[in-house]
Amino acid sequence: MLRILALLCVVALPAKAQDVAGEFDYYVLSLSWSPNWCALDGDSRNSPQCEDDKDFGWVLHGLWPQYENGWPADCRHTFRNPSRADTSAMADIMGTSGLAWHQWNKHGSCSGLSPDDYYALARLAYEQVTRPAVFRRLEDPITLPASLIEEAFMRENEGLDADEITITCRSQRIQEARICLTRDLELRRCGSDVIRDCTLDDALFDPVR
């Protein structure tokens, strides 16, 4: 009897609401420092992004629709999926076509935009942010405070405030710079679940390969 009651309780639980494409509050523009990603993941995957003839620095990880708290993912939509040509065309700023495909399916599908329009908007967002050139001039791995990355971005991008950008770390390395944007790609304050910065004073930072 107890097992039957437990089963009935599970069946009676409401299903998780499906995220709806186009219903979100703002975007997070996520920029990944490619040399650190290659050291942590890319090299072991033999990613083309990490080949010797590539010189990626800050690459576009994604443009993510965001709620004020949380985010939608894997939304149902009525658009055709992006073609190989579509995703390959994004590899110059995303590192690989595979990442472009994954980002569309997980995040772009929730934007309410077609793949072409989503990729165009993501490229526009990426290009309107100045990536500090000083980091490309490094010749050797260094350790630095994560706050230094944030300060460099704010110095290079007029109007960018500390509550509109966050720096993330992973495995003692600088991972990403995440900048919060309105749906019209204007700077805005990050939500409480995004705004938390990495606090490392000695984060590893590899030079461009």
Q: What's the one-letter identity of residue 59?
A: V
Q: Rounded to two decimals, what is the model's pTM?
A: 0.90
Measured between alpha carbons, how far is 162 from 155 in angstroms, rounded to an integer?
Answer: 11
CATH class of domain segment(s) 26-205: alpha beta
Predicted confidence at residue 18, as pLDDT, reads 77
Separation of alpha carbons 143 and 145, rounded Å: 7
Q: What is the pLDDT of residue 108?
A: 97
Residues in the chain with pLDDT < 50? Answer: 2, 4-16
The full 3-state SS of 22-67, as one line of letters, equals CCCCEEEEEEEEHHHHHHHHHCCCCCHHHCCCCCCCEEEEEEEEEC
CA distances from 80 to 63, 67, 114 (A): 19, 25, 8
pLDDT for 126: 98
Per residue in 77-104, pLDDT tens? 999 999 999 999 999 999 999 999 999 9
Domains of the chain, by residue range, sit at 26-205
Q: Return the pLDDT at 3.
A: 52
Residue 14 is predicted with a pLDDT of: 41
